[in-house]
Amino acid sequence: MTAATRLPADAEHPVAATVVLMRDGVDGVEVLMLERPHHRGSFAGAWVFPGGGVDDEDRREDDPADVAEESLARRSAVREVREETGLELATDALVTAACWTPPAEAPRRFRTWFYWAVAPAGDVVISPEEVVDHVWIRPSRALERHGAGDFMLVPPTWVTLYDLAQHASVEAALAAVRAVETQIFKTRIGSNEQGMVLYWQGDVAHAEDGSLESVGGRHRLEVGALPWVYTRSD
């Protein structure tokens, strides 16, 4: 059963796609990150992976009425990479890694599919309307810079970088994500002494009657202070 089957589209959660483009650098895996404009648009000032919402142009005339959500997300992913970076990808180059649903408190609740892919050959040509800078960076270095306060990230990007930092090569990263089911992140919000805590399935607090202090599994990101702290028990 595919992740698209498990998560049908619905009006409450419009769909978006994000693409983690990877290459092997001298010191390990590098990912392409884009800096959003600081005073407008979604994730203003943040460093993100290429991506955006599904548009009408991602649909086809011969699509069935119940076309799978992920099929549309894949087309959107390819289009967004082309528009924001000038790089060309095929849909079958995308490896599905995760699907993120924002917390109920979020003003815009896009359900976002995260794909990992080998970066295609070619120079990055950014779209000035959507991107002000770009960088190829090791995931661990991006996390270090975020912890120091000079590289703004949003939680799904942070967690993705954390996962990528565990792999020594692009081949190893893709093999690992192919070997497991698509990760599903349905975000809930709590707080502790330091501030906000985000938590997901596998955390004892994710149940309706759970609390952050209860004994049990952990799958949470503490974002109240830098550096952020990620805890995930098996």
Which residue blocks in the chain are alpha helix, DSSP H? 3-6, 69-85, 139-147, 155-164, 170-178
User: What are residue 88's phi and psi, to 5 degrees?
Assistant: -110, 130
Q: To which residue do tokens 């009006």 refer? A: 11
CA dist 192 and 215 (Å) reads 15
**Per-residue pLDDT of the chain in tens (234 residues, 90 and over written 9):** 233 333 444 445 789 999 999 999 999 999 999 999 988 767 889 999 999 998 888 887 777 666 788 888 999 999 999 999 999 999 999 999 999 999 888 777 789 999 999 999 999 999 998 999 999 999 999 999 999 999 999 999 999 999 999 999 999 999 999 999 999 999 999 999 999 999 999 999 988 767 788 888 999 999 999 999 999 997
Cβ–Cβ under 8 Å, residues 33 and 18 = no
- Other Cβ atoms less than 10 A from the Cβ of 30: the count is 22
| Amino acid occupying residue 175 | A
User: What are residue 115's phi and psi, to 5 degrees?
Assistant: -120, 145
Q: Which structural domains are found in the chain, ordered by start?
A: 3-186 (3.90.79.10), 187-234 (no CATH)
Q: pLDDT at position 6, please?
A: 38
Q: pLDDT at position 1, please?
A: 29
Number of H helices, E strands in the chain: 5, 12
Q: pLDDT at position 65, please?
A: 63
C-alpha distances in Å from residue 21, one per residue of 67, 76, 161, 162, 168: 26, 15, 12, 15, 15
Which pTM was predicted? 0.90
Q: Which residues contact 180 (CB under 8 A, 6 or more apart)?
A: none
* Chain-centre distance for alpha carbon 228: 17
CA dist 73 and 182 (Å) reads 14
How buried is residue 149: exposed, middle or buried, by Cβ count under 10 Å (0-12/13-18/19+)?
exposed
Q: pLDDT at position 5, please?
A: 33
